[in-house]
Structure 1
Amino acid sequence: MVVATRVLVPDRTWTTRLDRREPPPCAGSSSVRVRLFLSREYSSRRLAGGGHARTDHRDKCAGNGDQIFYVYDPALFLSYEATRRAVHGMLASMPLLRGVDISTDNWASCSALDAAATSMRDRARKDDDAGLGGGRYHFSLELAMEVTLVYIEPKAVVRACAETVMQVAEPASADHQCTICMDGFDNIGAGPTAPVNLPCSHPFHTHCITVWLFKGHSCPVCRHDLRGLVSAPWASQARKLGLKY
């Protein structure tokens, strides 16, 4: 993963409420209105940076989104899991987040999703227990989301080398071994033990050279400088905006 995504919804920056309830008999669909306030931060883990992320620039007001999603079966709100999946899917489909991986694994905390699903479920179950099941619900969810995109330069360098530098290492060759771990190249396929050649033609295990580049910026053998070989996908845009990168 060359660019990692981190999603944060800070505490007290989200609200969930029931705007309107229509008890049966009724027709039509329920709805959830999502109001999203988005900010973005662009960071990089550089060569020789020790794995620490450095902020390149921030966009504190990347945009606002307001969209209504229709739910045609109000029974969905009786299930916490179904409601949570639905709300997450609504957020993921908003144009403001197009191209952003907001899978729950990337969330620092899912408390906003959890609270929204719990609130909607509790409202629906209360009505269902009172004999009003099947009514239409019109909820609103408002939240501020902070998305951090972290460019991992060591991984990007190794990927670029694997794609563009001719592979010369051969398995079980006495002349070709990883000079970081001193083991030979037994796996010429993909994976962490597969060899990758740097532009200077020195081969290393993929995992070994990746770890090395978090601490250094050059070939361990000849000190060929690898800085500037690749750049963050947003670097050119940052320069156009006059931002320091």
Structure 2
Amino acid sequence: MAVATRVLVPDRTCTTRLDRREPPPCSGSSSVRIRLFLSRAYSSRRLAGRSTTDKLDKIARKGEQIFYVYDPALFLSYEETRRAVHAMVASMPLLAGFDVSTDNWASCAALDAVATAMRDRARRDDDEGLGGGRYHFFVELAMEVTLLYSEPKAVVRACADTVMQVAESGSADHQCSICMEGFENISAGPMAPVNLPCSHPFHTHCITVWLFKGHSCPVCRHDLRGLVSAPWSSRAHNLGAKYLAFR
């Protein structure tokens, strides 16, 4: 994947409070009101390991939404509450188009803190025989989302999709010049062969790792810079005899 999402929610920016509680007997739903401040950045990891920030939102965008919880027993479970809060945040229109799955979070401490605060309040009431009421929570958090474009991965992917020349079995080119191992008869995965525009073939994994350290073909030093561009760039670049727009 040439574009990865990185999510950061600094702990100090996250607060959870109980706005209102309706003791039993009561009807209706509980609610969670979430106020989100979103900062976005678009960065690139270039060939040879150079990193740049392409675009940065100078002013955080704000969104607020109310979510309803019809079974207050959900708040008694830390795991259920944590999953529910994450689903609420991820569904906010402000985050449309971003993959904010928890695997992309640098730390989930903010989610943990929200779920713990809600669970502790619900459990305290339940232990005192006051369970079954309705809770109306307010959550405020600041989120920093960075889209990180990897030029090394994009170059290799573009070559695999566009440069179709394949080394013939038994030829001098039928081995990777980085690891010196031969090519298997496979078309996908880290050990699949890929040809650069200069026609030199390598294992996909080997040449990807190489391009994180260098910017040219390890055999002929053909310069590979400028072959592809980040998806948020309007430029198109020449790859061999073809023009590509990374997508």
TM-score, structure 2 normalization: 0.90
Superposition pairs of residues 13-162 of structure 1, within 5 angstroms: 13-49=13-49, 52-162=50-160
Give the conservation status (yes or no) of the 8 Å contact 2:37–2:61: yes
1:22 maps to amino acid: E
Match of 2:163 in 1: 165
Distance 1:219 1:90, change over 3 A: same
- Aligned residue in 1 for 2:239: none
Match of 2:188, as an amino acid? A
Instruction: For residues 39-72 of structure 1, give each alpha carbon's deviation from its aligned partner in whole angstroms, at most 9, with x where no partner exists.
Output: 01221110112xx532223113241110001111
CA distance in structure 1 between the partners assigned to 2:78 and 2:168 by the alignment? 54
Matched position secondary structure for 1:40:
strand
Give the CA deviation at 1:170.
Answer: 4.4
**Percent of matched pairs sharing the same residue:** 83
Q: What are the equivalent positions in structure 2 for 1:165-244 lying under 5 Å apart?
A: 165-170=163-168, 173-236=171-234
The offset of 1:77, in angstroms, is 0.2
Mean Cα deviation higher: 161-170 or 28-37: 161-170
1:200/1:28 CA distance change after superposition, 3 Å: same
Is 1:6 matched with 2:9? no
Amino acid paired to 1:87:
V
Where do 5+ consecutive residues of structure 2 fail to align? 236-247
**Secondary structure of 2:131's match?**
coil
User: What's the counterpart of residue 242 of structure 1?
Assistant: none
Q: Deviations over 1:157-183 (max 9, x none)?
A: 000111111141345655411111111
Q: CA deviation at 1:224?
A: 2.1
Shift of 1:27: 1.0
> Residues 161 and 197 of structure 1 are in contact (CA less than 8 Å); yes or no, is this contact kept in structure 2?
yes
Tell me how far 1:235 sits from its aligned partner: 2.3
Deviations 1:95-138 (A, max 9, x none): 11111111112111111100100000011111111212111111
AA aligned to 1:39 is S
Kindly state the Cα deviation for residue 188 of structure 1 after the two structures are TM-superposed.
2.1
Secondary structure, in 3 states, of the residue corresponding to 2:68? strand
Aligned to 1:243: none
Distance (whole Å) between structure 1 residues aligned to residue 119 and residue 169 of structure 2: 58
Q: Does the 8 Å contact 1:185/1:195 carry over to 2?
A: yes
Shift of 1:22: 0.5
**Which ranges of structure 1 fall in alignment gaps of 5 or more residues?**
238-245
Q: What letter matches 2:22 in structure 1? A: E
1:74 Cα deviation after fit: 0.6
State the aligned residue count: 235
Q: Letter of the 2:2 partner, please give it.
A: V
Map Cα deviations across residues 164-212 of structure 1 (whole Å, 9 max, x no partner).
1114134565541111111110142211111001112211100111111
Is this contact kept in 2: 1:37–1:61, CA < 8 A? Answer: no
Over 6 Å off, 4+ runs: none
Question: In the alignment, is the contact (CA less than 8 A) between 2:173 and 2:200 conserved in 1?
Answer: no
